[in-house]
Amino acid sequence: MLIVKNITKSFHHKRILKHVSFEIGQGEHVALLGPNGAGKTTLLKILAGIVRPLAGTAELLGEKLFTENSSHRRHLVFWGHSALFYPALTGYENISLFLALRDEKVSSDAIREHLKTFHLEGSENDPVRTYSAGMLQRLTMIKLALSSWQLGLIDEPTTGLDIEGLEFLKSLSEQWKQERKTLLFSTHDADWVRERADRILLIDQGKVAFDTREVKTIDIQAVMQGNF
Protein backbone atom coordinates (compact mmCIF):
# COMPACT_ATOMS: atom_id res chain seq x y z
CA MET A 1 0.00 0.00 0.00
CA LEU A 2 2.58 2.60 1.16
CA ILE A 3 6.36 2.42 0.74
CA VAL A 4 8.48 5.15 2.34
CA LYS A 5 12.23 5.33 1.79
CA ASN A 6 14.79 7.63 3.40
CA ILE A 7 12.49 10.61 4.04
CA THR A 8 14.59 13.50 5.29
CA LYS A 9 13.44 17.00 6.27
CA SER A 10 15.00 20.06 7.90
CA PHE A 11 13.57 23.31 9.24
CA HIS A 12 15.78 26.34 9.92
CA HIS A 13 18.91 24.20 9.43
CA LYS A 14 17.69 21.68 12.03
CA ARG A 15 17.21 18.10 10.85
CA ILE A 16 13.70 16.95 11.84
CA LEU A 17 13.49 13.64 9.96
CA LYS A 18 16.54 11.51 9.18
CA HIS A 19 16.21 8.81 6.51
CA VAL A 20 12.81 7.56 7.70
CA SER A 21 11.82 4.30 5.96
CA PHE A 22 8.91 1.89 6.45
CA GLU A 23 6.16 0.04 4.61
CA ILE A 24 2.45 -0.29 5.44
CA GLY A 25 0.20 -3.00 4.08
CA GLN A 26 -3.37 -2.53 2.93
CA GLY A 27 -5.85 -2.46 5.79
CA GLU A 28 -3.27 -1.84 8.52
CA HIS A 29 -4.03 0.73 11.20
CA VAL A 30 -0.64 2.04 12.28
CA ALA A 31 -0.04 4.31 15.28
CA LEU A 32 2.73 6.86 14.73
CA LEU A 33 4.12 7.64 18.18
CA GLY A 34 6.87 9.87 19.51
CA PRO A 35 7.57 12.83 21.80
CA ASN A 36 6.56 16.37 20.91
CA GLY A 37 8.78 17.69 18.14
CA ALA A 38 9.74 14.21 16.93
CA GLY A 39 8.49 14.96 13.41
CA LYS A 40 5.22 13.01 13.38
CA THR A 41 3.10 15.86 12.00
CA THR A 42 5.82 16.78 9.52
CA LEU A 43 5.94 13.21 8.23
CA LEU A 44 2.15 13.08 7.81
CA LYS A 45 2.16 16.41 5.96
CA ILE A 46 4.96 15.21 3.67
CA LEU A 47 3.01 12.08 2.76
CA ALA A 48 -0.12 14.19 2.23
CA GLY A 49 1.74 16.45 -0.21
CA ILE A 50 1.49 19.56 1.98
CA VAL A 51 5.22 19.71 2.74
CA ARG A 52 8.07 18.66 0.45
CA PRO A 53 10.85 16.44 1.82
CA LEU A 54 14.48 17.42 1.51
CA ALA A 55 15.24 13.90 0.30
CA GLY A 56 13.62 10.50 0.01
CA THR A 57 10.88 8.80 -2.00
CA ALA A 58 7.47 7.26 -1.38
CA GLU A 59 4.90 5.25 -3.33
CA LEU A 60 1.18 4.84 -2.72
CA LEU A 61 -0.44 1.92 -4.52
CA GLY A 62 2.45 1.92 -6.96
CA GLU A 63 2.22 5.64 -7.76
CA LYS A 64 5.16 7.87 -6.90
CA LEU A 65 4.65 10.73 -4.46
CA PHE A 66 6.55 14.05 -4.51
CA THR A 67 6.18 14.53 -8.27
CA GLU A 68 4.18 16.95 -10.39
CA ASN A 69 1.65 14.18 -10.96
CA SER A 70 -0.98 14.47 -8.21
CA SER A 71 -3.21 11.60 -9.33
CA HIS A 72 -2.30 9.57 -6.24
CA ARG A 73 -4.11 12.10 -4.04
CA ARG A 74 -7.46 10.58 -4.98
CA HIS A 75 -6.40 7.60 -2.86
CA LEU A 76 -5.64 9.52 0.32
CA VAL A 77 -7.22 11.90 2.80
CA PHE A 78 -5.56 14.08 5.45
CA TRP A 79 -7.05 14.88 8.85
CA GLY A 80 -4.85 17.58 10.31
CA HIS A 81 -4.37 18.59 13.92
CA SER A 82 -5.94 21.92 12.98
CA ALA A 83 -9.40 21.97 11.42
CA LEU A 84 -9.13 22.39 7.64
CA PHE A 85 -12.30 24.36 6.96
CA TYR A 86 -13.24 27.78 5.57
CA PRO A 87 -14.40 29.70 8.68
CA ALA A 88 -16.96 31.84 6.83
CA LEU A 89 -18.67 28.87 5.18
CA THR A 90 -21.29 26.78 6.94
CA GLY A 91 -20.77 23.18 7.96
CA TYR A 92 -22.90 22.01 5.06
CA GLU A 93 -21.06 24.26 2.58
CA ASN A 94 -17.65 23.05 3.78
CA ILE A 95 -18.62 19.40 3.34
CA SER A 96 -20.13 20.09 -0.09
CA LEU A 97 -17.02 21.97 -1.24
CA PHE A 98 -14.67 19.26 0.02
CA LEU A 99 -16.59 16.57 -1.85
CA ALA A 100 -16.86 18.66 -5.01
CA LEU A 101 -13.10 19.28 -5.07
CA ARG A 102 -12.55 15.52 -4.85
CA ASP A 103 -15.19 14.94 -7.55
CA GLU A 104 -17.20 12.79 -5.14
CA LYS A 105 -20.81 12.20 -6.19
CA VAL A 106 -22.71 12.57 -2.92
CA SER A 107 -26.30 13.78 -2.67
CA SER A 108 -27.43 16.70 -0.56
CA ASP A 109 -29.68 14.32 1.36
CA ALA A 110 -26.72 12.09 2.23
CA ILE A 111 -24.74 15.06 3.54
CA ARG A 112 -27.64 16.24 5.68
CA GLU A 113 -28.23 12.70 6.96
CA HIS A 114 -24.62 12.48 8.10
CA LEU A 115 -24.85 15.89 9.76
CA LYS A 116 -27.82 14.52 11.67
CA THR A 117 -26.08 11.24 12.51
CA PHE A 118 -23.08 13.09 13.95
CA HIS A 119 -25.38 15.38 15.94
CA LEU A 120 -24.61 18.55 13.98
CA GLU A 121 -28.21 19.00 12.85
CA GLY A 122 -29.26 22.53 13.71
CA SER A 123 -25.72 23.84 13.22
CA GLU A 124 -25.24 22.82 9.59
CA ASN A 125 -26.19 26.31 8.39
CA ASP A 126 -23.96 28.15 10.86
CA PRO A 127 -20.49 29.34 9.82
CA VAL A 128 -17.88 26.95 11.16
CA ARG A 129 -16.08 29.81 12.93
CA THR A 130 -18.83 29.40 15.57
CA TYR A 131 -18.15 25.66 16.01
CA SER A 132 -16.42 24.22 19.07
CA ALA A 133 -13.29 22.07 18.69
CA GLY A 134 -15.35 18.93 19.16
CA MET A 135 -17.87 20.00 16.52
CA LEU A 136 -15.05 20.62 14.05
CA GLN A 137 -13.70 17.13 14.74
CA ARG A 138 -17.13 15.66 14.04
CA LEU A 139 -17.37 17.65 10.82
CA THR A 140 -14.01 16.20 9.79
CA MET A 141 -15.31 12.71 10.50
CA ILE A 142 -18.18 13.42 8.10
CA LYS A 143 -15.68 14.38 5.38
CA LEU A 144 -13.92 11.05 5.78
CA ALA A 145 -17.16 9.09 6.06
CA LEU A 146 -18.56 10.49 2.80
CA SER A 147 -15.42 10.40 0.64
CA SER A 148 -13.63 7.57 -1.16
CA TRP A 149 -10.02 6.91 -0.13
CA GLN A 150 -7.59 4.11 0.63
CA LEU A 151 -5.05 5.80 2.95
CA GLY A 152 -6.01 8.04 5.84
CA LEU A 153 -3.26 10.26 7.30
CA ILE A 154 -4.60 11.38 10.66
CA ASP A 155 -3.00 13.69 13.24
CA GLU A 156 -4.31 13.41 16.84
CA PRO A 157 -7.89 12.34 15.98
CA THR A 158 -9.09 12.09 19.60
CA THR A 159 -8.21 15.69 20.51
CA GLY A 160 -11.24 17.74 21.57
CA LEU A 161 -13.68 14.83 21.46
CA ASP A 162 -16.12 14.10 24.27
CA ILE A 163 -17.32 10.58 25.10
CA GLU A 164 -19.95 10.67 22.37
CA GLY A 165 -17.44 11.95 19.82
CA LEU A 166 -15.03 9.16 20.74
CA GLU A 167 -17.81 6.63 20.14
CA PHE A 168 -18.42 8.12 16.69
CA LEU A 169 -14.70 7.82 15.93
CA LYS A 170 -14.56 4.25 17.24
CA SER A 171 -17.47 3.27 15.02
CA LEU A 172 -15.80 4.83 11.97
CA SER A 173 -12.50 3.12 12.77
CA GLU A 174 -14.24 -0.24 12.92
CA GLN A 175 -16.00 0.46 9.62
CA TRP A 176 -12.71 1.44 7.97
CA LYS A 177 -11.15 -1.77 9.26
CA GLN A 178 -13.93 -3.84 7.68
CA GLU A 179 -13.45 -1.94 4.41
CA ARG A 180 -9.66 -2.58 4.57
CA LYS A 181 -8.87 1.11 4.52
CA THR A 182 -5.38 1.91 5.74
CA LEU A 183 -4.65 4.39 8.53
CA LEU A 184 -1.44 6.06 9.67
CA PHE A 185 -2.32 8.13 12.71
CA SER A 186 -0.42 10.03 15.38
CA THR A 187 -1.69 10.17 18.95
CA HIS A 188 -0.64 10.52 22.58
CA ASP A 189 -3.62 8.43 23.71
CA ALA A 190 -2.19 5.09 24.85
CA ASP A 191 -5.63 3.56 25.35
CA TRP A 192 -6.66 4.44 21.80
CA VAL A 193 -3.48 2.85 20.46
CA ARG A 194 -4.07 -0.33 22.48
CA GLU A 195 -7.65 -0.62 21.27
CA ARG A 196 -7.37 0.48 17.64
CA ALA A 197 -3.81 -0.01 16.34
CA ASP A 198 -2.43 -3.11 14.60
CA ARG A 199 1.10 -1.81 14.72
CA ILE A 200 3.26 0.90 16.31
CA LEU A 201 5.93 3.04 14.65
CA LEU A 202 7.92 5.18 17.08
CA ILE A 203 9.71 8.24 15.72
CA ASP A 204 12.51 9.40 18.01
CA GLN A 205 15.33 11.82 17.21
CA GLY A 206 14.12 11.93 13.62
CA LYS A 207 14.33 8.19 12.96
CA VAL A 208 12.13 5.10 13.19
CA ALA A 209 13.35 3.87 16.57
CA PHE A 210 10.79 1.13 17.16
CA ASP A 211 8.44 -0.89 14.95
CA THR A 212 6.22 -3.65 16.34
CA ARG A 213 2.95 -5.47 15.82
CA GLU A 214 2.93 -6.68 19.44
CA VAL A 215 0.53 -3.90 20.40
CA LYS A 216 -1.50 -5.91 22.94
CA THR A 217 1.46 -7.15 24.98
CA ILE A 218 3.84 -4.21 25.28
CA ASP A 219 3.83 -1.22 27.64
CA ILE A 220 2.66 1.48 25.23
CA GLN A 221 3.20 4.27 27.75
CA ALA A 222 6.82 3.17 28.16
CA VAL A 223 7.28 3.08 24.39
CA MET A 224 5.93 6.62 24.14
CA GLN A 225 8.58 7.68 26.68
CA GLY A 226 11.34 5.97 24.69
CA ASN A 227 11.72 2.98 27.01
CA PHE A 228 11.57 -0.10 24.79
pLDDT at 227 over 80: no
What pLDDT is recorded for position 156?
92
What pLDDT is recorded for position 13?
84
Burial (0-12, 13-18, 19+ Cβ within 10 Å), 154:
buried
In a domain, 12, yes or no: no
172 or 36, higher pLDDT: 172
Q: Which helix (H) or strand (E) holds 200?
A: strand 199-204
Q: What is the pLDDT of residues 35-88, one digit of tens each?
A: 888 899 999 999 999 999 999 999 999 999 998 888 888 999 999 988 889 999
Cβ-contact 182, 1 below 8 angstroms: yes
In a domain, 83, yes or no: yes
- Percent of the chain at pLDDT > 90 equals 80
What does the alpha-carbon distance between residue 136 and residue 151 come to, in Å, rounded to a whole number? 21
152 by DSSP, 3-state: which? strand
What pLDDT is recorded for position 123?
95
In a domain, 5, yes or no: no
> Rounded to an integer, what is the distance from CA 78 to the centroid of its chain?
5
What pLDDT is recorded for position 131?
96
In a domain, 172, yes or no: yes
> How large is the average pLDDT for residues 201-217?
91
Residue 221: which pLDDT band, with cuts at 50, 70 and 90? confident
Q: What is the pLDDT of residues 104-155, one digit of tens each?
A: 999 999 999 999 999 999 999 999 999 999 999 999 999 999 999 999 999 9
Quote the mean pLDDT of the chain.
93
What pLDDT is recorded for position 45?
96
- The number of distinct structural domains making up the chain is 1
In a domain, 98, yes or no: yes
Which residues span the domain enclosing 196?
25-52+70-224
- Percent of the chain at pLDDT > 70 equals 100
Q: What is the pTM of this model?
A: 0.92
> Rounded to an integer, what is the distance from CA 90 to the centroid of its chain?
23
CATH number, residue 201: 3.40.50.300
> Rounded to an integer, what is the distance from CA 191 to the centroid of its chain?
18
In a domain, 164, yes or no: yes
173 by DSSP, 3-state: which? helix
In a domain, 4, yes or no: no
Helix residue spans in the chain (DSSP H): 40-48, 91-101, 108-117, 133-146, 163-178, 190-196, 220-224
In a domain, 176, yes or no: yes
